[in-house]
Amino acid sequence: MEEVKEYVEKKYGVVVEFEMTTLVSYKEEMEIRFSSGDDTGIYLVDNLFDRDWYNINYYVNHQYAADLTDYISR
């Protein structure tokens, strides 16, 4: 996670924090996504697996979304 935080901060000038969650339903996901109330959340579209850390730049550049109503993928 530290590598992701450093990469995002250096590349985009955005400081991020991660909260690991396990979601079982769309309703739970929406509750978590709206819980901050500041419209600044960034959410990962797909789950990361251990092997994916080798491709973290791809995930940061293509799989993150910053919208609170539905996923957006670049």
* pLDDT beyond 60 at 13: yes
Q: What CA–CA distance (Å, rounded) separates 63 from 45?
A: 6
Q: How far is the CA of 71 from the CAs of 6, 16, 35, in angstroms?
A: 23, 18, 16
What pLDDT is stored for residue 8 in this prediction? Answer: 80
pLDDT in tens, 27-71: 666 666 655 554 555 555 555 555 555 666 665 555 555 544 444
Question: Could you say which DSSP state residue 43 is in?
Answer: E
Domains of the chain, residue spans: 20-69
